[in-house]
Amino acid sequence: MEFKPKREERELKYQEVRIYSDVELKNYTEEELKNFKVKHPIPKCEQLESGPWPSFVADAKRAALHRKKLGQDRLMIERDVIEDLLGQLELSFEHGETHWKHGGIVGVFGYGGGVIGRYSDLQEQFPSIAHFHTMRVNQPASKFYNTDYLRSLCDLWDFRGSSMMNMHGSTGDIILLGTFTEQLEPIFFELTHVVDQDLGGSGSNLRTPECCLGKARCEWSCYDTQDLCYELTTYYQDELHRPAFPYKFKFKFDGCPNCCVASIARADMSFIGTWRDDIRIDQEAVKAYIAGEIVPNGGAHAGRDWGKFDIQKEVIDLCPTKCMWMEDGKLKIDNKECTRCMHCINVMPRALRPGTDTGVSLLFGAKAPILEGAQLGVLTIPFMKAEPPYDNIKEVIEKVWNWWMEEGKNRERLGELIQRYGIPKFLEVLGIPPMPQMVKEPRSNPYIFWKEEDVPGGWKRDIKDYRARHKR
């Protein structure tokens, strides 16, 4: 198996692109770090240096010392940017209010997204974070890296930015946290020319798509999550960089119904891997689980004594559709009753595996609560093959976008539009018939919006005809 990029990519070797020497990168001792004090008093922040969990303050301080010792001539923005950030954070704790100004429209030429403008409202006190713009860098699908890539990015971000980043932002991008307006274009040019790498999405456009690690290291993935994610990300670059939508739009790709990237809760269009044939059973392994030779659920519950594994209690009785039973020492599954919830497979991964005729279920409209309340994705297309070049999927996407761009109000997510118009309208847009699987239950009110063409004779009637039969 091998996948190839859609365009030729520049090979990225850190040794060829690097900015800093080894001496510059290891430029402080542990003793110096212990004695290092940032320029502002930060007692509350410093309370967060203790405790076992990785301390972002301790981390920030070592980068602050590193920048201090690098010297200003080796840095394109102020070297004490981290110290000012910690100073402002301390003051925010003190005041119980953020000190970032509202908004700020900055970006790189020709793109409407990828850069989040940010300015401090305490610029006299913290001049080095007067500008603190964030850049979103579109992560490689499922966040595998090599160190050439990461080290290159670190050199670039030390030199032209704050040395602070998020690995990763909520949507999945690498977040480069804080630089000045002057450096936005230079960073973009270095990213595209040297790293051969683009920014991600922000604003009212396609947000950076994200996927689970799929077949790279999971036995349950029902399609090539990275490949589909990569394909749609590159195919829809224009939609990702140039806002033309009513609001944000998210694709997320889960390889199976366990939903490790939470597509069902947060993607306007959620791709969830599934299968339409039978769960594969290895009856010998089933026996081994029953005999206690294999630890259930991949050992996920090993920290507590839950007693001997009981297939009846832990698998068969917990099956939501009760479609499993033991017969002559063999596990039986009535697959046509199965809703593929993954529980039995999760509990006995060595005995049970998803089927081999696989594809995706498509769900639409998930979003966080702002504004009309949170929504989960609505099951709309039960099964679809997901194979290159994914034309069937692109066709669905474009129907949805065309409708949303036509009818959506400013800042209206797809899920809200579907609610405003109703599922029947959405089905008409997609050109698909209704199915009971789209609802938990049929409606309990009879307020059906009949259309004129549904009713024989139409709606045009003459009151005189009526009155001929019924006196006033």
Partner 1 sequence: MKFSQERLGRYNPDKPMENRITDLGPRHFWQYFPPIIQRNYGKWLYHEILEPGVLVHVSETGEKVYTVRCGGARFMTTEHVREICEIADKYCDGYVRWTTRNNIEFMVDSPEKLEALKKDLQSRKHVSGSYKFPIGGTGAGVTSIVHTQGYIHCHTPATDASSMVKALMDELFEYFQSMKLPAQVRVSMACCLNMCGAVHCSDIALLGYHRKPPIVDNEVLESVCEIPLVIAACPTGAISPSKTETGKKTVKIKEDRCMFCGNCYTMCMALPLADKEGDGVTVLAGGKVSNRITPPKFSKVVVPWLPNNFPRFPEVCEAVKKILEAYAKDAKKYERLGDWAERIGWEKFFEKTGLPFTEHLIDDYRLQYDTYRTSTLFKYTEAAWEVSRAAGGIE
Residue ranges in 27-46 that form contacts with partner 1 under rule CB under 8 A = 30, 33-34, 44-45
Mapped onto helix, strand or coil, the DSSP state of residue 381 is: strand
Site for partner 1 in 417-456 (CB under 8 A): none
* Contact predicate 442/434, CB 8 Å: no
Rounded CA gap, 229 and 138, in Å?
12
β 324-327/330-333 pair status = antiparallel
Window 226 to 255, contacts with partner 1 (CB under 8 A): 226, 230, 233-234, 237-238, 240-241
| Binding of residue 99 to partner 1 (CB under 8 A) | yes
Instruction: Map residues 257-286 to x or -, x wherever contact with partner 1 holds by CB under 8 A.
Output: xxxxxx-xxx--------------------
The least CB distance from residue 116 to partner 1, in Å, is 8
Interface with partner 1, residue 356, by CB under 8 A: no
Rule CB under 8 A: choose which of 38, 40, 66, 289 binds partner 1: 66
Q: Say how far apart CA 14 and CA 145 lie, in whole Å.
A: 13
Taking the complex as a whole, how short is the minimal distance between the CB of residue 114 and partner 1, in angstroms? Answer: 11
Residue closer to partner 1 (CB basis): 128 or 163 = 163
From candidates 78, 80, 84, 158, binder to partner 1 by CB under 8 A: 158
Q: Residue 152: which residues within 8 A CB-CB, separation 6 or more?
A: 12, 14, 17, 18, 194, 195
Q: Which of residues 374-413 bind partner 1 (CB under 8 A)?
A: 374, 376, 410-411
Stated length of the chain: 472
Q: Give yes or no for residue 81 binding partner 1 (CB under 8 A).
A: no
> What distance in Å separates the CA atoms of residue 30 and residue 170, rounded to the nearest whole number?
33
**Shorter beta-carbon distance to partner 1: residue 267 or 400:** 267
Tell me, letter by letter, the H, E, C secondary structure of 78-135.
CCCHHHHHHHHHHHHHHHCCCCECCCCCCCCCCCCCCEECCEECCCCCCHHHCECCEE
d(CA 216, CA 418): 35
Q: x/- site string to partner 1, residues 288 to 327, per CB under 8 A? A: -------x-xxxxxxxx-x-------x---x-x-------
The correct pick among 190, 311, 386, 414 for binding partner 1 (CB under 8 A) is 190
Report, in Å, the least distance between residue 454 CB and partner 1: 28
Residue whose entry in the numeric block shows the structure tokens 């996927």: 211
Site for partner 1 in 202-221 (CB under 8 A): 210, 212-213, 215-219, 221
**CA 212 to CA 376: how far, in whole Å?**
18
